[in-house]
Amino acid sequence: MCSVRRATNKLSRPRGEVEVMHIGLVIGGNQIGGMERQAFLLACGLHDRGIRVSVFFSGRPCLGLNRRDHTISFSPLPTYWLWGSRYTNSPSAYYLAWLLRRLGVSVVQAYQLSAIEKAKRAIQVAGGLPYIACVRGTRFAFDASLADKYKNACANAVRVLCNCTTVRELLLENQVCSRDRLLVFPNGIAIRRVCSPGKSDRGFNILFAATLKAVKDPVSFAKAVALVMRQKTEVTVTIAGEGSLRTKMRRVFEDQNVQERVSFLGQVPMDSVPYAQADLVVSSSIREASSNTILEAFASGVPVVATSVGGSVELRGMDFVRLVPPRDELLLAKAIMDFARLSQERRLELGLGASDYVRKNYSIDSMVDNHIALYKAVS
């Protein structure tokens, strides 16, 4: 089991002896997101095992997003900003190559396209280093030009990692990577104490935890849950996230006269998302790989209603999750209503099953062990 510290946004000093292995993680930036969170958990686990880790941010700091709830801290690990952009990609790749040689990095792991491209170019300059490419989304499956870019970026990678079987099959279908170099390492999720249902004195509380942008389709969620709220007065909604569609969501709730039972929390630190106060978590994404939000809900003992897209399809048949087609507000509302009608005892039973599922399949320790074994195999 992971420690409580692993669920925070800051690392402590390492335990044990430092190994010769030195891992370089290349990610887009320090703004909080699912991919950044997984990179943090991996860095934390490697650090705990006494393995040296350096973190390279391939882009530039996001101006105005310097509050703790927007960023993730890798301190005290050494971190380096490459300040990459379309105008500075070449110099930043050369700078990364210089850093890799100077620091004695033995294996590079890069997340998502821009970081993988930069790592590939830097290693061509530095020479002699294996690099691992991590593909964390499914957008390439809907964009042929993006798939070609991934194929080129991953061409020299010793391994390509993804976090669910669905993404693996899409990578093979789009010929991004050969089967022999492709591995599935599930996300690592911290297990939390499972609370009893009826956690909120406001009735049945539904949580939506995601960025309020088109890919998460928060407007369809708002329309569906507003229908439920009109029928069941004890239903309340909590929205943890920020984005351009917040105003449209508010308008939906106002049109249905249920706005007083909706709480917009704005951007929330990932370790402070209020899963413990939720009776149900809803994910209405139109595109998804392995959803951290869904897994975090399960880990907290909360059942889920989700759209049947990407990696979520692999959850079909489990009684603690209900899958519906994307952009179908009526079916989404019906699935939410089905859970709202369950007894507290039944919801607790489902929550315990969800927590046990994450414990068995998404252990942080197993995720770190898998990576260490891979590093040793390729270095």
Residues 142 and 288 in one domain: no
User: Exposed/middle/buried for 111, CB within 10 Å: 0-12, 13-18, 19+?
Assistant: buried
Residue 16's pLDDT is: 47
Name the percent of the chain lying above pLDDT 70: 88
Residues 211 and 313 in one domain: yes
- Indicate whether 374 belongs to any domain: yes
Residue 20's pLDDT is: 75
Q: Calculate mean pLDDT across residues 315-337.
A: 96
Residues 77 and 208 in one domain: no
Residues 150 and 125 in one domain: yes
Continuous segment of H or E residues that includes residue 160: strand 159-162
Residue 74's pLDDT is: 85
Instruction: Find, among 84, 85, 87, the residue nearest to 96 by Cα.
Output: 84
Peptide bond into 76 cis (omega under 30): yes
Which residues, listed in sequence order, are joined to residue 111 by a DSSP beta bridge? 134
The HSE-up count of residue 186 (CA atoms within 13 Å, CB side) is 18
pLDDT band, very low/low/confident/very high, at 89 (cuts 50, 70, 90): confident
pLDDT digits (tens, 9 = 90+) for 213-272: 999 999 999 999 999 999 998 999 999 999 999 999 999 999 999 999 999 999 887 778
Number of domains in the chain: 2
The residues, any chain, with a CB within 8 Å of residue 267's CB and separated by 6 or more, are 69, 70, 241, 242
Residue 196's pLDDT is: 52
- Indicate whether 197 belongs to any domain: no
- Indicate whether 193 belongs to any domain: no
Q: Calculate mean pLDDT across residues 282-297.
A: 94
Q: Calculate mean pLDDT across residues 322-329.
A: 97
Residues 166 and 208 in one domain: no
The residues, any chain, with a CB within 8 Å of residue 317's CB and separated by 6 or more, are none
Backbone dihedral angles phi then psi of residue 375, each to the nearest 5 degrees = -60, -40
Q: Which of 53-67, 203-217, 264-278 has the highest mean pLDDT?
A: 203-217
CB atoms within 10 A of CB 198: 14
- Indicate whether 131 belongs to any domain: yes
Residue 132's pLDDT is: 98
Q: Is the pLDDT of residue 13 over 70?
A: no
Domain residues for 102? 4-188+363-378
User: Exposed/middle/buried for 43, CB within 10 Å: 0-12, 13-18, 19+?
Assistant: buried
Residues 30 and 173 in one domain: yes
